[in-house]
């Protein structure tokens, strides 16, 4: 179906929801997309080939789902709100390559779900995310170990800025470092609140995460790497030395020697360190903690 069909469908969204007596649930982050231009930017960014699978989180009324199904081999979408079943049953009735599961995505065993994409060349994740669970969902995906090509997601603009922040800036934090460990992040499109029904009270942004095949830094112990990152940002105004000694229970002089040995000034703040420096600290600490 054509792009024009999306415009028509979007204009009928309210009618479809009313027909089925659907009530929006704010607590589930239900802000449905009604802007055809933004929809097409999402689909373009997902760059789906005919033999690809797509995992969609939160199909809502199925607007993004339908557009994805026109490009992909199969779409598996997981929706927490069962009351959307009649709406989705009606909006997706013509597609035979869409499978909807009613579940909380955070409770799904993703390696098991990925089995269903066995016959697909690549699998991407696409979602207009429910903002109240953005970070847990991103980590559920990234830490699952399943092979993901791209993740194209609509997030709150504030989160998008944190994802692309540079060391030494106020937006740079544990989320930035952790996501960069797994992926390269690109900003795709700023989206105003008028693109949704009902409009959220924050601005949004579409971002694309290109999942790395290998981490960008050599970290022999990823669990320790993430502990170091969390520790460095645990008290932002404290020095690296203070945060690390507190989290890892090492004597201050020993920690100072360790940091100096790898060329890192102990009085720096965690927010000034880049990924390579976090990796250096992890390796040094793994010898000390042995
Ligand atoms: C921002 S809306 C997006 C709806 C639709 N994709 C669109 O773009 O119009 C987020 C959707 O995620 C669903 N949702 C919320 N929490 C969820 C969870 N934990 N697991 C799966 N779906 C969830 C909501 O019910 C809602 O349909």
Domain harbouring 65, CATH code: 3.40.50.150
Q: What is the pLDDT of residues 24-63, one digit of tens each?
A: 999 999 999 999 999 999 999 999 999 999 999 999 999 9
219 — pLDDT class (breaks 50, 70, 90) = confident
Task: Specify the pLDDT at position 2.
Answer: 53
6 marked as binding residue: no
HSE at residue 191, side-chain half, CA atoms within 13 A, is 33
pLDDT in tens, 80-116: 999 999 999 999 998 999 999 999 999 999 999 999 9
Residue 122 makes CB contacts below 8 A (sequence gap 6+) with 49, 51, 52, 53, 147, 149
Domain boundary among 211, 239, 259: 211
When pLDDT is cut at 50, 70 and 90, the band that residue 3 belongs to is low
User: Greatest CA separation found in the chain?
Assistant: 69
163/259 same-domain check: no
Of the residues 6, 130, 159, 191, which should be mutated to test ligand 1's pocket, given the most ligand atoms within 8 Å of the CB? 130
**ipTM (interface predicted TM):** 0.99
Residue 289: per-residue pLDDT: 78
Determine the angle formed by the axes of helices 174-182 and 134-142, rounding to 10 degrees: 30
| 238 shares a domain with 206 | no
- The answer as to whether 216 is a domain residue is no
Q: What stretches of the chain show up as alpha helix (H) in DSSP?
A: 3-11, 13-19, 36-46, 63-69, 85-91, 110-114, 134-142, 157-163, 174-182, 222-232, 240-248, 252-261, 275-288
Q: Identify whether 100 is part of a domain.
A: yes
Ligand 1: centre distance to CA 267 (Å): 43
107 assigned ligand-binding residue: no
Split at pLDDT 50, 70, 90, the class of 14 is confident
> Do residue 80 and residue 120 come from a single domain?
yes
191 and 125 share one domain: yes
Q: Choose which residue among 37, 45, 58 to substitute to test ligand 1 binding: the one with the highest number of ligand atoms within 8 A of its C-beta.
A: 58
98 domain-assigned: yes
What tokens does 238 get?
């404290």
Q: Are 35 and 195 in contact (CB under 8 A)?
A: yes
Q: Are residues 266 and 204 in the same domain?
A: no
Handedness of CA 142, 224, 176, 202 (dihedral sign): positive
- Shortest CA distance to 284 belongs to which of 243, 246, 235, 244? 244
Residue-number span of the structural domain to which 182 is assigned = 3-211
In a domain, 144, yes or no: yes
- Answer yes or no: is the C-beta of 80 below 6 A from any ligand 1 atom: yes
Q: How many residues are there in the chain?
A: 290
Q: Do the domain assignments include residue 23?
A: yes
79 assigned to a ligand binding site: yes
**How many structural domains are present in the chain?**
2
Q: What's the pLDDT at 10?
A: 77
Residue with CA at minimum distance from ligand 1 atom 5: 60
201 labelled as ligand-binding? no
201 lies in the same domain as 226:
no
Rounded to the nearest integer, the mean pLDDT of the chain is 94
Question: Per the domain annotation, does 217 fall within a domain?
Answer: no
Ligand 1 atom at minimum distance from 78 CA: 21
Q: Among 185, 211, 237, where does a domain finish?
A: 211
Does a structural domain hold residue 270?
A: yes
Task: Supply the pLDDT for residue 1.
Answer: 47
CATH number, domain containing residue 242: 1.10.8.100
- Cβ atoms of 78 and 103 closer than 8 Å: yes
> Is 29 a pocket residue for ligand 1 (Cβ < 6 Å)?
yes
Please state the atom number of ligand 1 nearest to the C-alpha of residue 81.
25
Is 242 annotated as belonging to a binding site?
A: no
Identify whether residues 189 and 252 lie together within a single domain.
no
Pair (205, 273) in one structural domain? no
Q: Are residues 204 and 230 in the same domain?
A: no
Q: Is residue 43 part of a domain?
A: yes
Could you read off the pLDDT of 245-286 as tens digits, one per residue? 999 999 999 999 999 999 999 999 999 999 999 999 999 999
206 and 258 co-located in one domain: no
Query: What mean pLDDT do residues 208-237 have?
Result: 92
Atom of ligand 1 nearest to the CA of 28: 15
Query: Which residue CA neighbors atom 7 of ligand 1 most closely?
Result: 32
Closest of 261, 238, 241, 263 to residue 250, by C-alpha: 241
Q: CA 23, CA 21: separation in Å to the nearest integer?
A: 7
Distance 79 CA to ligand 1 centre (A): 6
Same domain, 133 and 271: no
Classified as helix, coil or strand, 113 is helix
Q: Tell whether 33 is in a known binding site.
A: yes
Task: Tell me: do 238 and 168 sit in the same domain.
Answer: no
């Amino acid at each position: 179906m054509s792009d024009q069909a999306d415009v028509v469908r979007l204009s009928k969204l309210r009618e479809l929801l009313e027909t089925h007596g659907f009530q929006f649930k704010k607590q589930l982050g239900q802000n449905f997309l009604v802007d055809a231009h933004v929809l097409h930017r999402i689909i373009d960014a997902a760059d789906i080939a005919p033999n690809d699978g797509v995992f969609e989180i939160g199909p809502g009324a199925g607007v993004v789902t339908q557009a994805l199904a026109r490009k992909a081999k199969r779409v598996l979408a997981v929706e927490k709100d069962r009351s959307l079943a009649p709406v989705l049953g009606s909006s997706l009735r013509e597609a035979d390559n869409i499978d909807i599961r009613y579940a909380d995505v955070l409770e799904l065993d993703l390696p098991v779900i990925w089995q269903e994409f066995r016959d697909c060349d690549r699998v991407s994740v696409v979602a207009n995310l429910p903002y109240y669970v953005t970070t847990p969902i991103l980590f559920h995906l990234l830490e699952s170990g399943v092979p993901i090509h791209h993740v194209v997601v609509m997030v709150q603009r504030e989160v998008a800025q944190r994802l692309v922040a540079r060391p030494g800036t106020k937006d740079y934090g544990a989320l930035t470092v952790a996501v960069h460990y797994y992926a390269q992040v690109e900003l795709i499109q700023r989206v105003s609140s008028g693109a949704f029904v009902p409009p959220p009270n924050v601005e949004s942004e579409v971002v694309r995460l290109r999942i790395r095949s290998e981490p960008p830094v050599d970290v022999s112990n990823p669990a320790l790497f993430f502990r170091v990152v969390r520790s460095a940002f645990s008290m932002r105004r404290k020095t690296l030395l203070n945060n690390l000694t507190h989290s890892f229970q090492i004597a201050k002089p020993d920690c100072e020697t360790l940091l100096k040995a790898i060329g890192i000034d102990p009085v720096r703040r965690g927010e000034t360190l880049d990924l390579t420096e976090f990796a250096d600290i992890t390796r040094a600490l793994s010898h000390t903690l042995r």
